[in-house]
């Protein structure tokens, strides 16, 4: 399963109504209950959101957010997905199947394509936009 940016943000944002759910998902991932994945774009989006004063009432310092990420990716249950030589072909296939994808949906497209090329179908997120990808199953972290 892939953990989306919002799960990471919930885990560090004590003001969020989903804070405990985010923490729980991260702790499960760290304990290696099942393989859990991130992408570098999810990591960078977490850095952007968690340090932004217009997004969080108590934004993190960049060094604090980076330290959180470093500790997370060093956990035995967390793995980073990277593009394979098949990435361009999987992207082309996905765009052909979903020609309406555009604009701000590109970040989600990148995550979905990485998941598809690695055979991962489950993503833990509150972002309903991932439901547009018929090959993904969205898991609500608060469920």
Looking at residue 133, its pLDDT comes to 98
Structural domain spans, the chain: 2-139
Looking at residue 52, its pLDDT comes to 96
Burial grade of 41 (CB within 10 A; 0-12, 13-18, 19 or more): middle
Looking at residue 93, its pLDDT comes to 98
Sign of the Cα torsion 135, 21, 57, 66 reads negative
Question: Each residue's pLDDT tens digit in the chain (143 positions)?
Answer: 999 999 999 999 888 888 888 889 888 888 777 789 999 999 999 999 999 999 888 899 999 999 999 999 998 889 999 999 999 999 999 999 999 999 999 999 999 999 999 999 999 999 999 999 999 999 999 88
Looking at residue 70, its pLDDT comes to 96
Asked if 83 and 65 count as a contact pair (C-beta separation under 8 A), the reply is: no
Looking at residue 110, its pLDDT comes to 98
The CATH code for residues 2-139 is 3.40.50.1010
Looking at residue 80, its pLDDT comes to 96
HSE at residue 97, side-chain half, CA atoms within 13 A, is 13
Looking at residue 61, its pLDDT comes to 96
């Amino acid at each position: 399963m892939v953990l989306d940016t919002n799960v990471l943000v919930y885990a560090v944002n004590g003001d969020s109504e989903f804070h405990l759910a985010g923490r729980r998902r991260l702790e499960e991932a760290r304990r290696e209950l099942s393989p859990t994945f991130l992408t570098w774009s999810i990591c960078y989006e977490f850095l952007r959101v968690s340090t932004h004063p217009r997004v969080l009432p108590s934004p993190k310092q960049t060094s604090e957010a980076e330290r959180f990420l470093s500790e997370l990716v060093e956990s035995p249950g967390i793995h980073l997905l990277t593009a394979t030589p098949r990435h361009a072909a999987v992207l082309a296939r996905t765009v052909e199947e979903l020609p309406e994808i555009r604009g701000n949906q590109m970040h989600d497209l990148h995550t979905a394509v990485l998941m598809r090329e690695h055979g991962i179908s489950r993503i833990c997120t509150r972002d309903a936009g991932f439901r547009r990808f018929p090959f993904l199953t969205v898991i609500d972290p608060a469920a």
